[in-house]
Amino acid sequence: QVQLVESGGGLVQAGESLTLSCVASTRIFSGGAMGWFRQAPGKEREFVAAITWIGASTYYADSVKGRFTISRDSAKNTVYLRMNSLKPEDTAVYYCASKFGGSVYTTSNYNYWGQGTQVTVSS
């Protein structure tokens, strides 16, 4: 069982930056990947970014490409999401999740989820 704990959310103004962190309770299997998703009120949960544990290959949703950066610290079992140039439409609860197989873009492929952290961007 993997427990994931997110932190770093908050209230910022448009154009500002935030960095989210996600700490895993146990070592992530080397063949796995970690992802960030978000869910705004009344909307479905959507893919934001993902990173593989080996090789650190990264994947981004088109809506955040060029503004968000995902990274990981293997020694700390931690994944980060650096969010720059935030927009009001980035407002959502952000979740991290871990997976061992399947597409990084598909929500149902993720086995473990954190509790989420709120990000609010004011205009």
Q: What percent of the chain has pLDDT over 90?
A: 78
Return the pLDDT at 31.
65
Handedness of CA 100, 51, 28, 95 (dihedral sign): negative
Q: Which residues contact 119 (CB under 8 A, 6 or more apart)?
A: 9, 10, 12, 18, 20, 38, 83, 86, 90, 91, 92, 93, 94
The tokens for 122 are 């004011």
pLDDT band at 2 (very low <50, low <70, confident <90, very high): confident
pLDDT band at 115 (very low <50, low <70, confident <90, very high): very high
Of the chain, the end-to-end C-alpha distance in Å amounts to 40
Contact 1, 111 (CB under 8 A): no
Return the pLDDT at 53.
83
Tens of pLDDT along 24-72? 887 766 668 999 999 999 999 999 999 998 888 999 999 999 999 999 9
